[in-house]
Structure 1
C-alpha cells in the first residue's frame, strides 16, 4: 500500500462516516444516546478540512497525524477509540514508504489491541470489534478485500443477537438484544465502501 493508496483509504473512511451520519446515529439511538453518527461525522469533517496540511512523509506518519485529529475532534467515547486505532496502525507502519499485505494486517491487529485496551472491551461485547476482528482475520487468511468486507457485514449483522457489555448501550442490558451495534455496522459499511473504491480506482494496480 502506497502513500496514495493510504490517502484513498483514509479519505474513503471519512467520506463514508459523513455520508452515513443519520444512519449511524439512528442505529445508535436504539440503545445508545444517538450521538455516534454526529460525533463521527463532525470529527471526520475536521480531518477533511485540514486534509492538505496533513504530514505525508510516509503512510505511518499520515495515519498518526490523522489519528491525532480524530482523537481531538470526535466527541464522546468514539474519539479516543477511533483515534487510537489510527495511531496504533500508524505506529506499526513505521517509516515504510510501501506497505505489503502482512504489514497492513499487523497494523489492523495493532489497532484492534489499542481499541481493546482503550475501551476495556473484547470480541463478543457488542462493539465495533465484532466486525473489525472478522474483517482482519479474513484479510490475514488471504481473502481479498471484498471477501473481508463481506465477513465484516455478516459479523455486524450477527451483533443483533448480542447483549451490549460496553458503552452506553450496556446500561440497557437485555434490551440491547435485537438491534445491531452501530460501531460494528459502521465498520462494515466503511469496509464495503473501501472495497468498492479500491476496485473503481484501480488502487491495487
Structure 2
C-alpha cells in the first residue's frame, strides 16, 4: 500500500466517522426547509462503510474507493445515496490502477466527483446544494497546490473556503431537492449539504 493510498483511506475514514457523529446536526439543518433525513441517510450509509471497512479490496486507491461507492449507493436512502455514491465512484475512476496519489490526482478526483454530482442530481453551482461549497473548495486546493503550499496549508485553506462558501448559501434560493419546494422561504438558511462539506473539510484539516 502506498503512502498516497494510506492518506486516501485515512480521509475516507475521517469523512465516515464525522458524518456518523454529526447525524443530528446535519438532520436539524435539513429540517429547516427540507425533509430532515439528510443526517440520518449519511450516517446510515457511512456506518455501513465502516462496518465493511476491513473487507474492502485495497489493490489500489481506486479499487478501494469503488467499493466505498458501491456501499454508499446501495445503503443510503433518498437522493443522498446516488449522489454521494456517484461522487466516490467518479473519484475512484481517476486513480484506478495507480500506485500513488498525487496532489494533481486529488484535484482531478474532486473535479470528477463534481461532474458526477451534476450529472446525477442535475444541479449547478448557485442552486444551493453541496456544489456551492465543494466547487470553491476544489478551486482553492488547486490554486494552493499550484502556489507550492504544503499539504497542511492546503487542507487548512480548503476548510476555510468551504466554510465561507457554505455560510454564503444563506443568500441563495434552493433550486434542487426538497428545499426547492419552499421557494423564497429557503433564503436565509444554509444548505445542509454545503455545511456538511465544510464540516468534513475542517475535520480533515484538523486530523491531517
TM-score of the aligned structures, taking structure 2 as reference length: 0.94
How far apart are the structure 2 equivalents of 1:142 and 1:191? 15
Instruction: State the Cα distance separating 1:4 from its structure 2 match.
Output: 1.1
1:161 maps to which of 162, 165, 171: 171
State the SS of the aligned residue for 1:107: helix
Q: Does 1:174 align with 2:184?
A: yes
Q: Kindly tell me the number of residue pairs found equivalent between the two proteins.
A: 198
* SS of match in other structure, 2:144: coil
- Please list the CA deviations of residues 97-143 of structure 1 after superposition, one character each: whole Å capped at 9, or x if unmatched: 21111111001000000000100001000000000001100001025
The corresponding residue for 2:87 is: 85
Q: Which runs of 5+ in 1 are unaligned?
A: 199-205
Which 4+ stretches in 1 moved above 3 angstroms?
none
- 1:14 is matched with 16
CA offsets per residue over residues 37-93 of structure 1, 9 Å max, x none? 000000100010010001111111111110000000111000000000000000011
Aligned to 1:57: 59
* C-alpha distance in 2 between matches for 1:36 and 1:187: 13
* CA distance in structure 2 between the partners assigned to 1:59 and 1:197 by the alignment: 20
Residue aligning to 1:149: 159
- Which residues of structure 2 form unaligned runs of 5+? 146-153
Which residue of structure 2 aligns with residue 102 of structure 1? Answer: 104
Normalising by the residue count of structure 1, what TM-score does the alignment of the two structures yield?
A: 0.95
2: distance between equivalents of 1:2 and 1:105? 14
Aligned CA RMSD, in angstroms, stands at 0.8
Secondary structure at 1:178 match in 2:
coil
